[in-house]
Amino acid sequence: RLDLATDKRMADYVGPGSFANPDFLEVGYTPRQPNTTGQTLVERRSMFTMWAALPAPLILSADLRPGAACGGVDDPAIVEILTNSEVIAVNQDPLAAPMRAARREDGLEVWRKPMENNASAVVLFHRNSSTTTARTISVGWEELGWDEAAEFNVRDLWAKTTLGVFSGSFNASVESHEAKIYTFTSA
């Protein structure tokens, strides 16, 4: 359903009060039987990243309370994914702009989501299933629709780390099935 929700034709319908619907999140889906979805922790983080950047409703089918009668989420790593305030802030950005693909080729994807105050979220996604090797994904400002001379402060939202000021391009090593999300703000 992610492919349908990220289809470029759908982006025209996304905005305040109108959102893509890739269905519910499977992160933490069956807490009584860990990993019954067949997803690794990296894949669960990637799913949350993509849902948050769409923006899409972050609908959970799990109770975040450990030991809850209905099967609470007892894995701290999954709770950390589901409660990352910086990633949730991308989803809740008042602009409610859709993310759009800057590039999708050979299983490597670059997505950009405009945000309030001239900021942007950028997602680097390594979807390629034919390799388990990490790949470096590079993106130039022109691909993202920015002036090549612009400088941006870049923050890694999963690492909760500011990476510094970048101009002209950005790159990162991305594991197979991993989606990394960054915010870019004018320097």
> pLDDT, tens digit, for every residue of 115-171?
999 999 999 999 987 777 899 999 999 999 999 999 999 999 999 999 999 999 999
Report the predicted TM-score, pTM, of the whole model to 2 decimal places: 0.87
Q: Which residues contact 130 (CB under 8 A, 6 or more apart)?
A: 107
- Which range is most confident: 8-17, 24-33, 99-108? 99-108
Share of the chain above pLDDT 90, in %: 53
Mean pLDDT score across all residues of the chain = 85
Q: Which residues contact 4 (CB under 8 A, 6 or more apart)?
A: 10, 22
Q: Are 99 and 6 in contact (CB under 8 A)?
A: yes
- The pLDDT score that the predictor gives to residue 174 is 97
Structure tokens at 151: 């400088």
- The pLDDT score that the predictor gives to residue 31 is 45
Residue in the block written with tokens 């991993």: 178
> pLDDT, tens digit, for every residue of 149-162?
999 999 999 999 99
> pLDDT, tens digit, for every residue of 51-83?
889 887 887 777 777 777 666 677 788 889 989
Phi, psi of 159 (to 5 degrees): -80, -15
Number of Cβ within a 10 Å radius of residue 130: 8
How far is 124 from 75, CA to CA, in rounded Å? 26
